[in-house]
Structure 1
Amino acid sequence: MRPYWIKKALGEEEVLECPPLENDVEADVCIVGGGYTGLWTAIMIKEQSPDVNVVIVEADVCGAGASGRNGGCALTWSAKYFTLEKLFGEEEAVRLVKESEESIYSIGRFCKKYEVDADFLLDGTLYTATNSSQIGANDSVISALENQGINSFRKLSFSDVKRMSGSDKNIEAWYSPVAATVQPGKLVRGMRKVAIELGVKIYENTPMLKLEEAMPAKIATPNGNVTADKVVLGINAWMARLFPRFERTIAIVSSDMIITEPCPEVLEKIGLTSGVSVLDSRTFVHYYHRTPDGRVMLGKGGNTFSYGGKISPVFDKPSPYRNLLHKSLVSFFPELSGVEIEATWNGASDRSVTGLPFFGKLNNSSNVFYGFGYSGNGVGPCHMGGQILSSLVLDLDNDWVKSPLVRGPLGYFPPEPFRYFGSLMIRNAIRRKEYAEDVEKKPKFYDIRLSKLAAAAGKSDKS
């Protein structure tokens, strides 16, 4: 099943064929994976060094994974400041927040420069509270950002919260103008077109079967091999399956979404007139935004957990949580109760222990690089990932290659079956805790304690 965004993008794009690899080829750089990470890396390499021969092999079509099926919220790392500071220190935390903001603007400039119609809307984001327990949830991090001189948020009055979010369920909100929304499928397919125009050779429907680490390296595919001086692995949630050494570095978690039929008149009436993204203060947040054609997309993370890092078939089917998502949609917007749901889908998110991506060299080799673990917030940060990986490939001497993000995994989950059953236990505790808070009751003590295990790394699955 093709999820809504990528299906729409494929149906509207100019056809540029990228047939499967059918023979042996050589390249300076072979990138495995045709999503945001791989495409940003390829584009940035070609922009800086046009003569570098770059090849991409993609198992399906570019954007078939998380890049074409996320919620379309391009967010910064501002809300992750405490995690950044704890892991990397104050100076690097400040730098990374600034860089994450710059990436939002850079994506917009990219779309303008290359005439990529990705429905990019720089309308900002709202971090909200939807019950009394969530009030003040963002105050401490915003205070820390203010102290560092990097705060872009301002607190809204209740009337402005309702006006901007379109829902009186949101009772408190901080607003930042430094965030955007996109049509994810149109963005990734537009990036594919730009990469081709810059001279990148892309082979779709060409899965990597084996990687031979050597100088040069060899990537085996069903009908041909790529021999390359350098390799970039940009396969995100699939890393654990293809490279078992990473199995405990991420947990594969679903983010589930629905989108309505066009209903612009209703949205005008309730005041949801911009593309602002709205996120509540749950551990596994609700997130929603209006699309330019008058639909509402709503999603929620933390529903389906996979066992052993495997990509379960459920991730390629309509969301099994459709009714729950529709109930959440109507709780925000009672006026949409009669509006049809056009599509529902889900996808695999590569949740790391810290909630941040990590990068490195495979087995400390000098010519195979990787980056993954975006934890449901990859639309903006993948642009940063492209800067890191292109800098590594081109042997640049800059802040990206010196960043502690390039130290590899920063933590490990417990082995199976403890990770899987522990994840379900914590997820269910979070559900009970947040249900109690929604009805203004005090959660059970053990549900609070278990929920803190998931909240330690910060919010997840926002985009």
Structure 2
Amino acid sequence: MRRETIRLGGGMRGDEGAGAPPHRSLWLLESLDVPDGPGAPFSGDLSPLLGAARADVAIVGGGYVGLWTALELKKREPALEVALLEGDVCGGGASGRNGGQIHSWWERLGGLSAVCGTEEAVRLARASEEALDVLQRLSDDGLDFDLRRDGWVWTATTPVQLGAWEQVLERVARHGGSPYERLTAEQVAERTGSPVHLGGIWERTGGTVHPAKLVRGLRRLALEAGVRIHEHTRVRAIEPGAGAPGAVTRVVTESGATLDAARVVLASGAWAAALPEFANRMFVVASDVIATRRAPERLDAIGWDDGAAICDSQMRVLYYQRTPEGRVVFGRGGGAVALNGRIGRGFDRSERFARDATQAFRRVYPMLADLAIEQSWSGPVDRTLAHVPLFGRLRANPSVLYGVGWSGSGVAQSVIGGRILASLALDADDEWSRSGLVDQPPLTFPPDPIRWAGAQLVRSAVQRKARAEDAGRTPRWIDRRIAALTPGLPEGEGRT
């Protein structure tokens, strides 16, 4: 097979507004004050790759997936030379910008079944529960990332959302799962502190984390395991090695530095969407988050006193948590859409969508409407048609492996991603390399700019539909019809 040069520059961080510092999430700003080790000062950014280097495995991307892959590789083969390249700082992308919610893959069982078959889908759902326990063990061993296992609450905040979870409950029960408990409106209000919630279900094993403390903690563990990490190292291209199929692959950075490796792992999330191989298999949409000032006494007064993850059931999902210090972190999905997978500075922060998230927060928590919003940020979500990630080997170079398309559900599930990618990198023949998530039959979107134009049309209809429902009105017929064209989950699945 003829191997081709893979050019990454078009979708990597910094392609628009290069030279300007990125707008940081509250999470990352807070995590940079956390010592890298007991009693030690924060060591700062790690040096960029310089000159020519070699490794057994090169990993592109310093978020959850890349770091879990590195840790899994070193766990299995401690002598393996693993080098990780990150264009910003570890956690600068989606891993340090998300809502900090953890829950299992049971609510994605329909999408997993469509891609993998029922037996493998159930295995992966159970594996995702075990991944939550992996996070628990990290916390028990002293890694501080504000883990709180107070559950995941899937709610309805308007009458039209009631019962959105029914088909999921039926499907999960049919295949032997029992992760959920039904909640009455009163019970949901008690757990969330808001009477706007009309009903819901609770996954007892879920909860919340501080996303950036988690990714920075994984960074520290990877360094301790002997992984070489180079931050501020943007990858420009991956070139094929000369000669035999087993020849070394070369990673070339924007500065001209090179890293030769037998295997390269692409773990760059949404930034991989610009590659031709993924152009029609996933798209990138922003999710926008706000954080209030600290007000623990106000949250205590309404009965919101734990660390549950909370989501509603609309297409433009609302997701929120109370932080340990008493902030409300409140996000809304369905923001800006990337054209040709290009992720510019607009995916760091959007004033327009921050106002939209603020308005939704004040609707759900009217008694907290006067709380000042101290920070807002955005982040890119790499969405696939089945809402499950893609794994495999690039056609242009089978020595390059990928794990992308997390569709907004990867904080805990990235543990699984690391296992799959490590098995592929080591040519292992096991349950992970044989997973149905590997080499999936292609489910494709229309090409850009048709996809982008269609996404704008559908997103506008979804926004109008959501505003009408939030106000207690029946959405217009045309908006309901257009919104129904949203590429989505099997009927009845969650929108997280």
TM-score bracket, normalised by the shorter chain, equals over 0.9
Report the 3-state secondary structure (helix = DSSP H, G, I; strand = E; otherwise coil) of the residue aligned with 2:127.
Answer: helix
Asked whether 1:28 is paired with 2:56, we answer yes
Is 1:197 aligned to 2:230, yes or no?
A: no
CA contact (8 A) 1:59 1:207 kept: yes
Q: Which runs of 5+ in 2 are unaligned?
A: 1-22, 37-41, 242-246
2:377 counterpart of 1:345: yes
Which whole-Å CA distance do the structure 2 matches of 1:237 and 1:409 have between them? 20
Corresponding residue for 2:20? Answer: none
Aligned counterparts of 1:273 and 1:292: Cα–Cα separation in 2:
9
Q: Who is 1:109 aligned against?
A: 137
2:292 matched to which residue of 1?
A: 260
* Amino acid corresponding to residue 202 of structure 2 in structure 1: Y
The alpha-carbon deviation at position 11 of structure 1 amounts to 2.5
Report the Cα distance in structure 2 between the residues aligned to 1:407 and 1:200, rounded to whole angstroms: 28
Counterpart Cα distance in 2 of 1:304 and 1:392: 34
**Structure 1 consecutive aligned stretches of length 4 or more whose deviation exceeds 4 Å:** 458-461
Residue 452 of structure 1: CA displacement? 2.3
Which sections of structure 1, spanning at least 5 residues, go unmatched? Answer: none
Per-residue Cα deviation, 1:13-54 (whole angstroms, up to 9, x for no partner): 333352111221111111111111100000111112111110
Contact 2:147/2:208 (CA < 8 Å) preserved in 1? yes
Is the partner of 1:349 in helix, strand or coil? Answer: strand
Q: Deviations over 1:135-174 (max 9, x none)?
A: 1111111111112111211111222111001111101010
Contact 1:260–1:297, Cα closer than 8 Å, also in 2: yes
Matches within 5 A, 1:431-450: 431-450=463-482
Letter in 2 for 1:119: D
Summarize the Cα distance change of 1:323–1:240 in structure 2 as closer, same or farther, 3 Å threshold. Answer: closer
Cross-structure match for 1:3: 25
Task: Give 1:201 deviation, angstroms.
Answer: 0.6
Query: Is 1:165 the equivalent of 2:192?
Result: yes
Q: Is 1:59 the equivalent of 2:87?
A: yes
- Alignment of structure 1 residues 233-272 onto 2, 5 Å: 233-241=266-274, 243-272=275-304
Aligned-residue offset at 1:318:
4.9
Q: Which residue of 2 aligns with 1:281?
A: 313
User: For residues 138 and 424 of structure 2, what CA distance do their matches in structure 1 show?
Assistant: 22
Cα contact 1:300–1:461 (8 A) shared by 2: no
Q: TM-score, normalised by structure 1?
A: 0.95
Asked if the contact 1:57/1:203 (under 8 Å) is kept, the reply is yes
Kindly indicate whether the alpha-carbon contact (under 8 Å) linking 2:273 and 2:382 is maintained by their aligned counterparts in 1: no
Corresponding residue of 1:18? 46
Name the residue aligned to 1:292: 324
Q: How many residues align?
A: 460
The CA distance in 1 between the partners of 2:489 and 2:53, in whole Å, is 43
- After TM superposition, give the deviation of residue 88 of structure 1 in Å: 2.2
CA distance in structure 2 between the aligned counterparts of 1:238 and 1:246, rounded to whole angstroms: 10
TM-superposed deviation, 1:92: 1.3
Q: What is the distance in 2 between the residues matched to 1:356 and 1:330?
A: 32
Counterpart of 2:400 in structure 1 is 368
Q: Measured at CA, do residues 433 and 4 of structure 1 come closer, stay the same or move farther in structure 2, by a change above 3 Å?
A: same
Hey, what's the Cα distance between the residues in 1 that align with 2:407 and 2:24? 22
* TM-score between the two structures when normalised by the length of structure 2: 0.89
Percentage of pairs with the same residue: 37
CA–CA distance in structure 1, aligned partners of residues 194 and 84 of structure 2: 44
Contact 1:251 1:350 in 2 (8 A): yes
Report the AA paired with residue 35 of structure 2. Answer: E
- Determine the structure 2 residue equivalent to 1:421: 453
Greater share of helix residues, 1 or 2? 1
Residue 24 of structure 2 aligns to a residue whose secondary structure is coil
Q: Matches of 1:409 and 1:147 in 2, distance apart?
A: 25
Distance of 1:170 and 1:22 partners within structure 2: 54
Counterpart-to-counterpart distance in 1, 2:138 and 2:495 = 25
**SS in structure 1 of the partner of residue 388 of structure 2:** coil
Q: What is the distance in 1 between the residues matched to 2:330 and 2:441?
A: 31
| Aligned counterpart, 2:11 | none
The verdict on how the C-alpha distance between 1:416 and 1:335 changes in structure 2, with shifts beyond 3 A counting, is: same
Using the alignment, how far apart are the partners of 1:456 and 1:259 within structure 2? 28
Q: Decide which moves more: 401-410 or 36-45.
A: 401-410
The alpha carbon displacement at 1:388 in A equals 0.6
**Which position in structure 2 is the counterpart of 1:399?**
431
Are the aligned partners of 1:266 and 1:335 in contact in 2 as well (CA < 8 Å)? no
Contact 2:288 2:349 survives alignment (8 Å)? no
Offset at 1:366? 4.2
Between 1:75-84 and 1:435-444, the stretch displaced more is 435-444
Greater displacement, 138-147 / 452-461: 452-461
Distance 1:42 1:391 in 2: 11
Cα deviation, 1:291-324, whole Å, max 9, x if unaligned, reads 1111110000101111111102211235432222
Kept in 1: contact 2:316–2:463 (CA 8 A)? no
Superposed displacement of residue 444, structure 1: 2.9
Q: Distance in 1 between matches of 2:426 and 2:35?
A: 31
Measured after TM superposition, the shift of residue 359 of structure 1 is 0.5
How well do the aligned residues superpose, as a CA RMSD in angstroms?
1.7
Q: Indicate if the aligned counterparts of 2:394 and 2:402 stay in contact, CA closer than 8 A.
A: yes
Structure 1 residue 453: Cα displacement: 2.3
